[in-house]
Amino acid sequence: MRKIKKIITSFLLILILFANNIHSQTAVFSDVEVSDFGNSNGIGSANTSRNVATDSNGNIYVVYANGTEIRLAKSINNGESFLPSILIANSISLEPEINVSQSNIIYIAWTENTSVFFTKSVNLGDSFSNARVIGDSIAGNIHIASYANNIYLINQQGKKLFSNDNNGTGNFNEINTGVSMVYADVLIDLNGIVYTPMDNPDLLLFESTDQGQSLTSTTLIPSGKVYFSSYALSDSPNGTFIFVAGGDLDGDPTVPSTSGYRINTKTGVLQTITFGKNTITPEGRTLYADNKGALIDGYRADNGDLMISVSANQGISFETPIVVANGGSHNIARSSKTNHVLVVYEKNGSIFLSTYTDVLKNIEITTPSPISLCSSENFDISFKLFGDFDQNTLFVASLSDENGNFTNTIEIGSVRTNTDGIINCNLPANLVSSGDYRIQIESASNFLQSNPINLQLKATSIAGDFNICLTETTQLIGGGTPRISNPWASSNSAIATIDNNGIVTAVASGIVKISYFTNDGCTSEIDFQVFDLPIINSNVTLNQCDNDSDGFSSFNLNEVKEKIVTNKDNYTITFFEEKNLAENNSSPIQNSTAYINEIASNDIICARVENNNGCLRISEVNLIISTTQIPLNFSKIFYECDDGVNLNDGIATFDFSSVTNDIINIFPTNQQLDITYYKNENDALAEENKITNVDNYQNTSSPNQQTIYIRVDSKVDNSCLGLGAHITLNVENVPVANMVNLDPECDNDRDGLFSFDTSAIQSTIIGSQNNVAVSYFDETGNQLSSPLPNPFITDSQKITARITNTNSQDKDGQCYDETTIDFVVNTVPIANPILPLEVCDDDFDGITNFDTSTIENTILGSQTGLIVKYFDENNNTLPSPLPNPFASSTQTIKVRLENPIYDVCFEETTIDFIVNEKPSFNLITDDIICMDNNPRLGIQIDNPLGNYSYTWRDESNVIVGTTAAVDVFEGGVYSVIATSDKGCNSDELSIRIRESSISTININDIEVQDDSENNFIRINTQNLGLGDYEFRLLDENSNILFDYQDDTLFENLEGGIYTVEVNDKNNCGSQTFEIALISFPKFFTPNSDNQNDFWQIKGISKSFYKSGIITVLIDMVKWFLNLQ
């Protein structure tokens, strides 16, 4: 509740501040009466009809109703006055709506019963067509929007969108939206896109990009809702936005009267905006916006004032509101000619208009529309500014596309100023010809754009190939009608010429400008380039060897490219079997690296050579085949053991470089030879993938065995002298020396040797291999017998076993593999014994701490590097070394010494840990000794758990006894310790002996008070004795008056003889003492009336009072009585 109050308070404060800022700007024409017929005229609700519009001439039109008629009033003097109204229709509708198209056609529509009526004027409102029904609708208002020749209507519920693309002539198309809402509107942006926002109160938005033929739904993010809505669309360089706001609805606090939205038509994003407070009339909101960036909020204040507030930044903020009048409803429009803001309103059954100037900023293009230009033409646009602008404000001239759409504009000029001015513009060269271009001026910083003007573009162009090669011609085609004389021109006829028909002839390489001229004065110009032809050898020869003497062989045609042209990689070279095929680039030879000649021994093909510019020449290639000169029986065979990481993959490293000299020796001396080696015949014929590492070659492509091809060419003319498979590479198998694993053994007799069983070693090494032999070598390389002796007596050593392929022909030695056999003899540790460790328990849990600091050193002695392990009686592993101190009960621990290399070699011993019991007995903690004439007290221990000896000591540490019981003769603290036969001492126990005695009470210890209101006896305890005393009081007949008590006071006593008894609580005895208390009456009356006839003294006895004097006053006369 506190939060709600705070919000209300803040809201009231805002309203107060807002009210204080209300602006009462004076209208240029104020309260101009529009209606002239009756006194019950109206314009409907502010949010449901638009009743005022203007044409491009500045004429103002207001449509209103009176319940029986719909009438139109017109002002031709900017709203200073109105002409007599004309009748539009006899109708009961109260909410007609008016719209003026871009071509000044006036549209008026309304609903009556279930029909939508429509009429129009094509003569600036002088007369209207007969009203006709264009469709059906639920009763309510109707909204109109127009763009070019298109007109759109939507009913209040948004169920149907009506459209017509012929300025309202002919039938209207209908689209069902599929929804039924409370309020709906139709709006059009600068590019003619149609939007139909609606609510119930949740907002929906539909869009049509095909002139109302279809609608698509736009997702709104986030969702929103509004009551009694009014809509308006604002275009600016900063975007196209739909604004919506309304009024209050009782019971829905989530939608206050000031809330509304700005909807981004491109993204569907909703942004909350604060509008003016509209509560007195929920339908009192009216919004105005246009394609120039304007936005005006109209609303009815709480006091009935009709307000308008301008936003100069598309709803980001609003300026100080203006009070128009106190009335019932109002609508807003803007004059495209004067930039005036027009507010029409109803007051007391009449319609009025107020006109405001200098309310909205504006940019107006003053250059007449349309303008006619050519592509690339430079021209000026003049403009006028309304309102105040910052210095150096940027104004940009934007060009639409050829359809007049400003979605993707082209900037054609700009200027920075804050006054009326001119923008110099330049049209791009690549525009298409069209009469529908539009130009507008934009100021993004002011959220403004001007009125668009039309551009008729007389575009011209040149089409065709702009690049040709020397000796070629090409046809260029100009766009637009050519001028009669010399429509074509070349800037340099030494490079290229062009005739009047646009045919270009290449003369020399270079670049020229070709121009085309149209009969309407437009010019188009291009850069035209002539390229050089390739420089080639027109006839070349390619030689190849014939490996089988049939006159046919495989050619790698790519080898001849270097003979045809320098820098062959800069050209595209393709081969053809015929010249005409090469010229037409038809059926090229597909496999240029393995082409087989079609004519035996000598054949001719053609090469087509093209440079990067597509210019070409043809070269003739002669294919010559010669017979190999290497003898057929020339053969070289090489053997190598399998090597590398994998010794079983059939791949080895070969050096067959010696073959080169063998080949040289076949041919005549000093002949210049190019000898190359290949993995296969195709590579040898194509001279591709030659082997370069002949001295370190691996046969990876052909495991186990490979044939190598030799090719011999002449270094003089590259003719092939020899080709064939003359080298064989054989990879020999490397046997595998299988591993032998022997368990390490223990030197149990400590002589350093062990007898190993070798019976399975040789068969393990060989496995299933054949044609192998095994040899053995000791650590110094001495060869041992094969197989090894069994048993084999040795100390620790590593023996090498070699297995050899007995069929190997490797020139470097037969192929072999090696493994090692580890014979390991491990020493066995010696565990030195440990004497039992005995310790007295320090408490009664049977566990105590043992000193283990010397245990491990004792067990190991001089041995080092051994592993020592400890195990408890349950064989659980203990820490090693043992903790020091080591807390343990009585137990025997096992100790194992292991050889760290081979833990099977170990020795064990045990350690006895003995915890001796701590003596235990009981002793009372306190006792009493009575200090009489012969004091003596016997004390002793109780419940001993064993046969112990004892030591008793007094407070001076003097031994007073050595047995279980002793006598003491005075008070004090006595301690005793028990010792077991194992020498373990008990905890020391102590007994406190307190001294006590019978009381020594005498008369000096007694205080009495008698013959008083409160007779008492009090005992002074300071000198009574050593004991802890209690007291009781007896009368002279030994009757107990007060039983034993700690209190020493006995009070409220009568006169008499009393016995005080003092008793020692420690049982040292009791002592009595007799005391007399005197009491007597203050008067007596011996008149035999049985009241106070006698007088007697209590507490007198011969034991206490020997004599005395009694004074009696009889009638105030003293009598003395001696009492003995």
CATH number at residue 718: 2.60.40
Looking up tokens 């969702």 gives: 223
930 and 903, same structural domain?
no
Distance CA 431, CA 842 (A): 111
Looking up tokens 């690339």 gives: 376
708 and 590, same structural domain?
no
221 and 74, same structural domain?
yes
Phi, psi of 990 (to 5 degrees): -130, 150
Helix (DSSP H) and strand (DSSP E) numbers for the chain: 7, 90
428 and 372, same structural domain?
yes
Residue of 274, 288, 323 lying closest to 303 (CA atoms): 323
Residue 1023 is assigned to a structural domain of this protein? no
DSSP output for 597-636: PSSSSEEEEEEEEE-TTS-EEEEEEEEEEEE--S-TT--E
Residue 309 is assigned to a structural domain of this protein? yes
SS3 1091: coil
Range with the largest mean pLDDT of 10-19, 90-99, 252-261, 680-689: 90-99
257 and 153, same structural domain?
yes
DSSP output for 844-881: SSS-EEE--TTHHHHHHTT--S-EEEEE-TT--EE-SS
pLDDT above 70: residue 886: yes
How many domains is the chain built from?
Answer: 8
Confidence of residue 334 (pLDDT cuts 50, 70, 90): very high
DSSP letter, residue 1098: B
Domain boundary among 498, 513, 531: 531
How confident is the model over 1020-1035, as a mean pLDDT? Answer: 92
pLDDT at 1049: 93
Tokens read off for 754: 């062990």
871 and 849, same structural domain?
yes
Distance CA 609, CA 352 (A): 88
pLDDT at 673: 87
Residue 3 is assigned to a structural domain of this protein? no
222 and 273, same structural domain?
yes
pLDDT above 70: residue 834: yes
Amino acid (1-letter code) at residue 1014: N
Q: What is the pLDDT of residues 248-304, one digit of tens each?
A: 765 566 667 788 999 999 999 999 999 999 878 888 899 999 999 999 999 999 899
Phi, psi of 198 (to 5 degrees): -160, 165
Task: Give the ranges where 835-888 is alpha helix by DSSP (H).
Answer: 855-860
404 and 304, same structural domain?
no
Looking up tokens 């807002």 gives: 18
**b/e map 66-97, b = 16+ CB within 10 Å:** beebbbbbbbeebbeebeebeebbebebbbbb
Total Cβ atoms within 10 A of residue 224: 19
Q: What is the pLDDT of residues 298-324, one digit of tens each?
A: 999 989 999 999 999 999 999 999 999
pTM of the prediction?
0.51
DSSP letter, residue 581: H
For the chain, helix, strand, coil in percent to 5 are: 5, 45, 50
Looking up tokens 């809505």 gives: 229
pLDDT above 50: residue 3: no
CB 919 within 8 A of CB 979: yes
Residue 1081 is assigned to a structural domain of this protein? no
768 and 789, same structural domain?
yes
CB 842 within 8 A of CB 918: yes
Distance CA 920, CA 436 (A): 122
Total Cβ atoms within 10 A of residue 663: 19
Looking up tokens 């006054």 gives: 419
Q: What is the pLDDT of residues 362-419, one digit of tens each?
A: 999 999 989 999 888 899 999 999 999 999 999 999 999 999 999 999 999 999 999 9
Domain that holds residue 582: 541-627
CB 532 within 8 A of CB 510: no
Residue 83 is assigned to a structural domain of this protein? yes
Q: What is the pLDDT of residues 135-165, one digit of tens each?
A: 988 768 899 999 999 999 999 999 999 999 9
Beta strands 183-184 and 194-199: pairing type? Answer: antiparallel
Looking up tokens 């609805």 gives: 249
Confidence of residue 895 (pLDDT cuts 50, 70, 90): very high
Domain boundary among 795, 822, 849: 822
Residue 56 is assigned to a structural domain of this protein? yes
Q: What is the pLDDT of residues 447-493, one digit of tens each?
A: 999 999 999 988 788 899 999 999 899 999 988 889 999 999 999 99
Beta strands 554-555 and 132-136: pairing type? Answer: unpaired
SS3 896: strand
Domain boundary among 916, 947, 982: 916
967 and 888, same structural domain?
no
Confidence of residue 1118 (pLDDT cuts 50, 70, 90): low
Residue 597 is assigned to a structural domain of this protein? yes
pLDDT above 70: residue 520: yes
493 and 558, same structural domain?
no
SS3 for 644-672 is CCCCCCCCCEECCCHHHHHHHHHCCCCCC
What are the C-alpha distances in Å from 635 to residues 280, 656, 673, 725, 892?
116, 12, 19, 8, 85
Distance CA 355, CA 1057 (A): 133
Tokens read off for 40: 């019950």
pLDDT at 13: 32
Phi, psi of 975 (to 5 degrees): -115, 155
CB 360 within 8 A of CB 407: no
pLDDT at 11: 32
Tokens read off for 315: 């709803």
What are the C-alpha distances in Å from 939 to residues 242, 952, 1069?
113, 10, 21
318 and 225, same structural domain?
yes
Distance CA 1029, CA 941 (A): 29
Tokens read off for 646: 């994998």
DSSP letter, residue 534: P
SS3 450: coil
Tokens read off for 1096: 């007697």
CB 283 within 8 A of CB 94: no
| β strands within 159-285, DSSP E | 160-164, 173-176, 183-184, 187-188, 194-199, 203-208, 216-217, 230-236, 239-245, 259-264, 270-274
How confident is the model over 552-580, as a mean pLDDT? Answer: 89
pLDDT above 70: residue 713: yes
How confident is the model over 224-233, as a mean pLDDT? Answer: 92
SS3 783: strand
Distance CA 693, CA 683 (A): 16
For position 338, which CATH number holds? 2.120.10.30
Beta strands 989-996 and 926-930: pairing type? Answer: parallel
Distance CA 677, CA 683 (A): 9
pLDDT above 50: residue 5: no
Distance CA 474, CA 465 (A): 7
pLDDT above 70: residue 1121: no
CB 520 within 8 A of CB 540: no
SS3 681: helix
pLDDT above 70: residue 9: no
Residue 536 is assigned to a structural domain of this protein? no
pLDDT at 486: 92
Q: What is the distance between the terminal CA atoms of the chain, rounded to a whole angstrom?
A: 103
| β strands within 919-1053, DSSP E | 926-930, 937-940, 949-953, 959-961, 965-968, 972-979, 989-996, 1006-1009, 1015-1019, 1029-1035, 1040-1045, 1049-1053
The rounded mean pLDDT for the chain is 89
